[in-house]
Amino acid sequence: MLFLTKFFPLNTINHTNFQFPNQKSVYKGKVREVYNINDELLVMIASDRLSAFDVIMPRQIPYKGQILNQIAVKMMQETEDLVPNWLIGSPDENVSVGRLCTPFKVEMVIRGYLSGHAAREYKLGKRMLCGVDMPEGMKENDPFPIPIITPSTKADNGEHDEDISREAILEKGIVSEEDYLILEDYTRKLFKRGTEIAAKRGLILVDTKYEFGKTTDGKIVLIDEIHTPDSSRYFYADGYEERQRRGEKQKQLSKEFVREWLIENGFQGKEGQEIPLMTDEKVKEISNRYIELYEQITGEYFIKANTNSIHERIEQNILQFLSNY
């Protein structure tokens, strides 16, 4: 059964509860639900849930899951010559199927510019993030001399990700040194390629995060999403230098506009804070912004999937894929 939420004439995906042949388990993350098929395959369904400050918002965003899934699939295909990934296929607009992996308990965050979380820490007077020095005299949205890797812990559902240094990761044995060197190498290669892809589309890849896992035969692969607006921040390249000179906000493509709206309305995911009311108009605005993000990031027109019978559509497409695998 698929639980749906009405939004105007649209259905959105909130939670799923499928039972597939040879299904072993299901993991429900902040915005994705992952089904283990026979300890061999993972079926990842991108919901329309919206997460910010590690909190799931009470309303879903139409087409958000489709957008995130299709961007991630496209970007994995455009980077698979550099870094191996988990993906086998995408049988539905909201679904990716890949090899079973054991995820590393860290997210590899890489930053080319002083933006978002790094900028907020910098304004508080901090000059070190995750054990990495940030130069004096920087303005918000200035580029770092070279991109910095600032990992975070991979939190369980409902908990907050936390900054962590390379040294602490190794000291605590979260990742072995041998594996961590590979994660760093893959992270830098992916960010370089992502920067090149973005530049072709008139964008600047500001920062992003990558997640990795290990297959049953011990191979380290890229998993989850890549270069999506939920995992990445983009600026428009046109006018970037001028806006920096004038001290103006950068025109950006990312989920930051959601975070900014929440902050303006007194919410940053802290204890005791209430999530502001998200009206129909605000939901529609966020949905339209995600569609804009898709078209800018991919350079392709967004084709909306049929939402009349999402349950049947997803289930039938997955079952057909599994029967042919």
72-99 pLDDT, tens digit per residue, is 999 999 999 999 999 999 999 999 999 9
d(Cα 109, Cα 127) in Å, to the nearest integer?
Answer: 17
Contact (Cβ atoms closer than 8 angstroms) between residue 215 and residue 100: yes
Q: Check whether 180 has a pLDDT greater than 80.
A: yes
pTM of the model as a whole = 0.87
- C-alpha closest to that of 10 among 315, 312, 304, 316: 304
pLDDT tens for 200-221 read: 999 999 999 999 999 989 999 9
232-237 average pLDDT score: 94
Contact (Cβ atoms closer than 8 angstroms) between residue 109 and residue 148: no
CA angle 301, 294, 204 (to 5 degrees): 120
- Average pLDDT, rounded, for the chain: 92
Higher-confidence residue: 159 or 222? 222
Phi (first) and psi of residue 296, to 5 degrees: -70, -45
Task: Identify the band that residue 2 occupies on the pLDDT scale cut at 50, 70 and 90.
Answer: very low
DSSP string, 236-287: ESTTHHHHHHHTPPPPEEETHHHHHHHHHTT-SS-TTPPPPP--HHHHHHHH
d(Cα 311, Cα 325) in Å, to the nearest integer?
Answer: 21
Q: Check whether 139 has a pLDDT greater than 90.
A: yes
CATH assignment of 2-100+304-324, among 1.20.120.1200, 2.130.10.10, 3.30.200.20, 3.90.1150.10: 3.30.200.20
pLDDT tens for 47-72 read: 999 998 888 999 999 999 999 999 99
**pLDDT the model gives residue 160:** 61
187-209 average pLDDT score: 96
**pLDDT the model gives residue 155:** 64
At a CB cut-off of 8 Å and minimum separation 6, what does 168 contact?
131, 174
**pLDDT the model gives residue 161:** 76
276-298 average pLDDT score: 91
Q: Check whether 284 has a pLDDT greater than 80.
A: yes
224-242 average pLDDT score: 93
Burial letters for 152-178: b for 16+ Cβ neighbours within 10 Å, e otherwise?
Answer: bbbeeeeeeeebbebeebeeeebbeee
Q: Check whether 184 has a pLDDT greater than 70.
A: yes
The superfamily CATH assigns to domain 103-257 is ATP-grasp fold, B domain (3.30.470.20)
Helix/strand/coil for 216:
coil
Task: Identify the band that residue 5 occupies on the pLDDT scale cut at 50, 70 and 90.
Answer: very low
Instruction: State the SS3 of 106-128.
Output: EEEEEEEECCHHHHHHHHCCCCE
**pLDDT the model gives residue 94:** 97
Note whether 2-100+304-324 and 103-257 share their fold.
no
Task: Give me the residues paired with residue 23 across strands.
Answer: 37
Q: Check whether 6 has a pLDDT greater than 60.
A: no
Return the domain boundaries, the chain.
Answer: 2-100+304-324, 103-257
Task: Identify the band that residue 255 occupies on the pLDDT scale cut at 50, 70 and 90.
Answer: confident
Task: Identify the band that residue 10 occupies on the pLDDT scale cut at 50, 70 and 90.
Answer: low
149-178 average pLDDT score: 87
Q: Is 54 exposed, middle or buried (0-12, 13-18, 19+ CB in 10 A)?
A: middle
At a CB cut-off of 8 Å and minimum separation 6, what does 203 contact?
234, 235, 236, 237, 253, 296, 297
Contact (Cβ atoms closer than 8 angstroms) between residue 252 and residue 233: yes
Q: Check whether 183 has a pLDDT greater than 90.
A: yes
